[in-house]
Structure 1
Amino acid sequence: MIDSVIADLRTGIVMLADSERTEVAEIGGIGPRFRGVLAASNINPATEKSNDIERIWLDYIFSTNKRGVALVTKFKDQFGFDFKGKRVLDIGSGYGGLCLAAALQGADVVGVEFQKKLVDFSLENFHDFDVGDCIEIINKDIVNPETWKSLGQFDIVFCDNVIEHVHSPEGLISAVGSLLKVGGYFYLTAPNAYSFGMIRSECHYGLLGASLLDPNDAAVMLSFIRGQKTEYDVSFYYDYAEYVEIFTRYGLDPKHLLPLDGSDAAVARAHANFNEIIKDLEKVKLPDSIRDRYFERVRWYKNRFYADLNYFYGANDPQERAAIAQRMSRDYEINLWYFVCKRTKK
C-alpha cells in the first residue's frame, strides 16, 4: 500500500505560517532560534568526529522538522487525510517537528511530552515559525488517566519512536483507544527487538544482542561495555502478536504498512543471516552477573527461529508457505514496525 514510506521519510516541504506563506529554502529545516538554544546546550550537528551512536541521536534531533513534514505529507497523500481543522495529538512530542508540521497544515495540535527540557526546546522550534498559538504542549505522563481524561478526543494520534520508552505500553494504547474518535487514526512505530538488524545493533545504543535481554540486564551490559554506570532508557520490547492483541483489545484495527517478502529466497536469505548473527552472539563479552541469562536468551532465539524454519519447510501448500515466509520477513527482517490503526468501536 505504501511502498515508498521509508524511502521518503526525509523529504517534504515546510510552509511558514505567516501572511506571505513563504517556502523555507532548506526543506524541512530548523530555524535560528531553535538552532541557537540547541547550541547553548552544546547540541550541535554531527561531525566526522562523532561516533555512530552520537551521530544517530544528533541526526534524529536535527531532522525533527523533516521527519514531521514527511509523516504529515504521507498521511495526506496515502490516506487522503486533510489536517485542516482536525484535532491532532502527538504522544512523546519531543523536539516538536510533527506538531509543527500538523499545525502548518491548519490542525489544532496537542503534544504530550514527559521531559521538560524537550518541551522547552520544542517551544523554541515553534517560535521560529510563529505557530505557538496553534499548538499546546503538556509536560505530563500520557499513561496517567489524570493527563488524558481532560484532553477530549482527536481525529488522529501519533506515537513515533516512543512506545518502547514508556513504563506501560498497554496503558498508552488503552489511553489512545479512549482519545480517538470513532473512525480516527492511530499511527505507531515500534522497534522489532528480534529482527536481525536490532540483534546486530540495538537501535538506541548500538549493542550486539542487547535487545534479547530484559531492561535490567541490558543496562548491566551497557554499563559493562562503556566502563561506567550508564542509564538504559528502554522499558519494553513487545513482539508483533502482542501489539496486535493489545490494539484489538482497545477497539483499534491495526494495519502494518511495509510490504513483506513471501518468497522461498527470502527464507533462504534469512537463514543465512541468522547463522552469521548466532556466530557473533556467541562471541559477546559479558559480566558474569548476566552471562547465564544472556546465553539462555540466545538459545531461546535459536529455538524460535528453527521452529519457524521447520514450519516453513514442512508446509506443502504454496499459499501456506508464502504466508509463513511473510511472517518470517516481518519478524526477522523488519527492524521497525509501522502501524496505522483505525478506531472501529465506541
Structure 2
Amino acid sequence: MSYQEFLAAFAVAQGVGDVDTLLGEHAARYKFQITSRERAQNAIALLADELGVDWRGLRVLDVGCAYGAFTIELTKLGARAVGIDNNAKWLGLAAVNARGEVDAPFIDCDASAFAAREALAPHGPFDLVLLNDVLEHVYDTAGLLANLEALTTREAAVWFEVPNGLATQHVLAEGHKKIFGLSLLAPDHWPAFVATPFHIFYRRWPYFPALFGAFGFGDLRLITRNRDRDIERTRARIREDLDRIGALIAAGGQSPVVERACGYYLAEAEHDLATMAGGALYLKYRARFWKGIARKSGSTR
C-alpha cells in the first residue's frame, strides 16, 4: 500500500485534497509524479538490456531521486540503491513511497558539493549512477562529475537522460512550463516568464561528451533512437515546426528577447537543414531527450 500512501501524501503536499481528486481533476498536471513508478520500471528494463547487468548487489546512486521511484524499484530487484536529493519535501515523500516495501536510504545531499563525497562514501563505491532528468537542473555540473569520478568504481557507468532545448517541439512549448521560446533563453530571463522561482539549464549536445570525458567517463554511447523512417521525414517535420515558429513570431505579441532568440535559432536551423546529415539533424532538432550511457574510460564491461 506504500504507493497509495505516497499518492495520498503527495496530494496533501500539493494541496489538491485526496487521491481521487489527484487522479481525476489533477491527473494531467501531475502525470509525471503519478506515473513515477511505471517510468522507473520501464527505464530499468531498458538499462538492463543496454548494460546486461545483474542488479543483485550492484551499488547504485540515484542522483536527484525526488520521490524515490528508481531507488525503490532497483532495491526490489536486489540492488544496493541509494537515493539523494537536496529537497527535504521530496525526500519525505520518497520515504513514504518506500515504507513497508523496501528499506532504502534517502539522503539530503547536494551532489555537486564537495561535501557529498564524505556523505556518500560509506555507501560506495558505486557501480552505476543514475542522472535521470537531473543535469538540466544542475548549475555546477563539473562539481557533480568530479564527485562521481571520486565515488565510483573503476568500471562504473553513468546513465543519463536530459532534455534538448533546441528540439523544435521544445521551442514551440518548453517541456516544463509549456511556454513558447523559453527553452532558447538563458536562465536570467526566466523570471519574466515563470511566476515561481524556476529555470532549466539547457545545454547543447556537445557539452555532454566534453563534460563526461573531462572526468574520466569518456566511453559514451548515445541510445536515443531515430524514430523517423528516413531523412526526408526528418527534414519535413523540422520544416513544419520551423514554419510554425516563424508564424508565431510574425503574428507579433512576443517578448523582444523571445523574438531575438527565435531569429537566431531559425537562421541556424535553416543553415543546418541545407548542410547537415539526417542523423545529426534528428539529434539536434527532433530528439526531445538525449539518453545515453557514459562509462569510465578503459572499462571492459
Which TM bucket (shorter chain)?
0.7 to 0.9
1:89 counterpart residue number: 61
1:275 counterpart residue number: 243
Q: Deviations over 1:259-283 (max 9, x none)?
A: 2356234223322321222212444
Contact 1:209 1:281 in 2 (8 A): no
Match of 2:69, as an amino acid?
Answer: G
Q: Specify the SS of the correspondent of 2:189.
A: helix
Post-superposition offset of 1:159: 1.1
TM-score, normalisation: structure 2: 0.88
1:333 counterpart residue number: 286
1:249 and 2:214 equivalent? yes
CA–CA separation in structure 2 for the residues paired with 1:331 and 1:197: 11
CA–CA separation in structure 2 for the residues paired with 1:197 and 1:214: 18
CA–CA separation in structure 2 for the residues paired with 1:196 and 1:137: 37
1:188 to 150, 160, 163: 160
State the number of aligned residues: 289
CA–CA separation in structure 2 for the residues paired with 1:200 and 1:108: 41
2:234 to 266, 269, 292: 266
Q: Deviations over 1:119-151 (max 9, x none)?
A: 11000111131x12xx21111211001113442
Post-superposition offset of 1:203: 0.8
CA–CA separation in structure 1 for the residues paired with 2:89 and 2:233: 48
Q: Deviations over 1:95-114 (max 9, x none)?
A: 01000011001111111111
Contact 2:234 2:286 in 1 (8 A): no
CA–CA separation in structure 2 for the residues paired with 1:284 and 1:47: 38
1:113 and 2:85 equivalent? yes
2:267 to 303, 309, 315: 303
Contact 1:190 1:338 in 2 (8 A): yes
TM-score, normalisation: structure 1: 0.77
CA–CA separation in structure 2 for the residues paired with 1:299 and 1:34: 45
Match of 1:33, as an amino acid?
Answer: E
Q: How does 1:44-59 map to 2 (within 5 A)?
A: 44=19, 46=22, 49-50=25-26, 55-56=28-29, 58-59=30-31
Post-superposition offset of 1:30: 5.6
Contact 1:92 1:113 in 2 (8 A): yes
CA–CA separation in structure 2 for the residues paired with 1:66 and 1:82: 20
CA–CA separation in structure 2 for the residues paired with 1:303 and 1:217: 21
Match of 1:79, as an amino acid?
Answer: L
1:231 counterpart residue number: 196
CA–CA separation in structure 1 for the residues paired with 2:5 and 2:112: 32
CA–CA separation in structure 2 for the residues paired with 1:84 and 1:161: 25
1:178 and 2:147 equivalent? no
What is the identity percentage for the equivalent residue pairs of Structure 1 and Structure 2?
20
Q: Which ranges of structure 2 fall in alignment gaps of 5 or more residues? A: none
Q: Specify the SS of the correspondent of 2:291.
A: strand
CA–CA separation in structure 1 for the residues paired with 2:11 and 2:274: 54
Match of 1:119, as an amino acid?
Answer: L
> Do the aligned partners of residues 119 and 49 (structure 1) sit closer, same or farther apart at CA in structure 2, a change above 3 Å counting?
closer
Contact 1:192 1:337 in 2 (8 A): yes
Contact 1:46 1:59 in 2 (8 A): no
Q: Specify the SS of the correspondent of 1:171.
A: helix
Give 1 or 2 for the bigger CA radius of gyration. 1
1:143 counterpart residue number: 112
Match of 1:295, as an amino acid?
Answer: E
> Do the aligned partners of residues 107 and 307 (structure 1) sit closer, same or farther apart at CA in structure 2, a change above 3 Å counting?
same
CA–CA separation in structure 1 for the residues paired with 2:74 and 2:106: 13
> Do the aligned partners of residues 141 and 83 (structure 1) sit closer, same or farther apart at CA in structure 2, a change above 3 Å counting?
same
1:343 and 2:296 equivalent? yes
CA–CA separation in structure 2 for the residues paired with 1:308 and 1:284: 26
CA–CA separation in structure 1 for the residues paired with 2:138 and 2:178: 20
Q: Specify the SS of the correspondent of 1:240.
A: coil
Farther off after superposition, 259-268 or 179-188:
259-268
> Do the aligned partners of residues 177 and 307 (structure 1) sit closer, same or farther apart at CA in structure 2, a change above 3 Å counting?
farther
Post-superposition offset of 1:59: 1.1
